[in-house]
Amino acid sequence: MTESHENGPMSSGDTAPGTPEAQLEELRRQLDDKQDRLLRALAEADNIRRRAQRDRDDFVKYANESLLRDLIPVLDNLDRALGSARAAAGAASVVTGVELIQRELLRVLERAGVSRYSAVGQPFDPTRHEAIARVVSAEAAPDTVVNETAPGYLLNGRVLRPALVAVAAAPDEDAA
């Protein structure tokens, strides 16, 4: 009975099939193979866990993005109202009230991770600025933001809305 057990299946690379040494070598090879597969599976599971955690963190960090996008036009309207009220004579109390509302809304947005940025004077960056006009300018360097129609907003460092800007063009660029 021990002989039939010793003469079990062997790999074709063994020199003396059926010997205890050959069987031991085959078992070691199988063990090494299984250990290698186990280590690979554990590493893959760890990578999946880390990837899922990163995805969850990003989801939580940017979950309010849609709501905040909807709030930004409200801020734009407050900016326009303030501009009009400042231009009108005798509207000081209106300006004061709208400024209070604007500051409170900006504080709420800041607590949610939104920050406002201005682009005037900076080189045009298509990832942070949306060019809506070109202005011929001898004073400003070409591709420099010379005017801002609306400020840009970031959500935890990611562009929520690019700044709407006018970009300087050299005088000779328009002649072409």
Euclidean distance between CA atoms 114 and 159, whole angstroms: 9
* Cut 0.75: pTM above it: no
User: Of 21, 41, 62, which closes a domain?
Assistant: 62
15 and 53 fall within a common domain: yes
Tally the domains of the chain: 3
Instruction: Note the pLDDT tens digit of each residue in 87-121.
Output: 877 777 788 888 888 888 888 888 888 999 999 99
User: Of 62, 79, 102, which closes a domain?
Assistant: 62
119 and 176 fall within a common domain: yes
Report the run of H or E that residue 106 belongs to, with start and end: helix 92-111
Report the run of H or E that residue 28 belongs to, with start and end: helix 20-62
Whether the Cβ atoms of residue 14 and residue 8 lie closer than 8 Å to each other: no
How much is the pLDDT for 68?
A: 82
How much is the pLDDT for 4?
A: 46
How much is the pLDDT for 59?
A: 87
Is the model's pLDDT at 1 over the cut of 50?
A: no
Taking the alpha carbons at both ends of the chain, their separation in whole angstroms is 98
Q: Which domain holds residue 164?
A: 115-176
